[in-house]
Amino acid sequence: MACLSRRCLQRQKGFILDGVAVDTLAGSAAHIPPKLWSALPPYNAQLDGHAASYFAAPAVKSLLKNTEQHRGGTSRDGWIVDYFHIYGPEQRYLNRRNWAGAGHSSEQVGGHYSFLADVKPMKGYNGRFGYRRNTPDLRVNSSCFGEVSVFPLH
């Protein structure tokens, strides 16, 4: 199914391919202890919509209030990892890079629309239909495609 709507094209333009930059940053950040930044965002269960019913229970709410986690909480690794994932130098670099337009290209945004968009006719030895005429029988008989051969038929 073709994605021709304005909304679909806008979503394609919003897709960012920055895998090389993320891999480079993640590789360099992995060797520096403590590991404060990762390519994957830290998981915070309180922000997970699928776990919302668990955190809505009164017993869990009172426990979160006692542990001072009732305002959204932190990830498993703590607030400093959450902070570095949002404001750390690696994340700031990726944000500046993506705001400047890096990670976008017309080929990726266009998707399959640009594939074979300006294909040229192939002029080869096999003729217009790719039907080989280099054997004696094929030279004598006319093509079943209706093509008139430029080669002599004798």
DSSP 73-124: ---TT-HHHHHHHHHSHHHHHHHHHHHTTTT--HHHHHGGGGTTTTPPPP--
| pLDDT tens column, 21-56 | 777 877 777 777 777 777 788 888 888 899 999 999
% of the chain with per-residue pLDDT over 90: 10
pLDDT in tens, 89-98: 888 888 888 7
How far apart CA 79 and CA 58 sit, in angstroms, is 24
Considering the domain architecture, whether residues 101 and 124 belong to the same structural domain is answered as: no
Looking at the structure, tell me whether residues 42 and 104 fall in a common domain. Answer: yes
pLDDT at 15: 66
Residues 114 and 127 in one domain: no
Mean local confidence (pLDDT), 95-111: 68
How much is the mean pLDDT over the chain? 75
CA distance 107 to 56: 45
Total domains in the fold of the chain = 2
Asked if 23 and 79 sit in the same domain, the reply is yes
Mean pLDDT across the stretch 131-149? 63
Q: Are residues 114 and 126 in the same domain?
A: no
Q: Is the domain of 131 the same as that of 84? A: no
* Shared-domain flag, residues 104 and 130: no
Residue 104 sits in the same domain as residue 133:
no
Residue 154 pLDDT exceeds 60: no
Phi, psi angle pair for 21, to nearest 5°: -65, -40
Say if residue 13's pLDDT is above 70. Answer: no
Q: Is residue 1 part of a domain?
A: no
> Are 71 and 128 members of one domain?
no
Percentage of the chain lying above the pLDDT 70 cut: 62
Most confident of 9-13, 23-27, 40-44, 124-128: 40-44
Q: Indicate whether 134 and 88 sit together in one domain.
A: no
Record the pTM: 0.49
Greater pLDDT, 53 or 16: 53
User: What was the pLDDT predicted at 1?
Assistant: 47
Q: Which residue range is the domain that position 144 belongs to?
A: 120-154
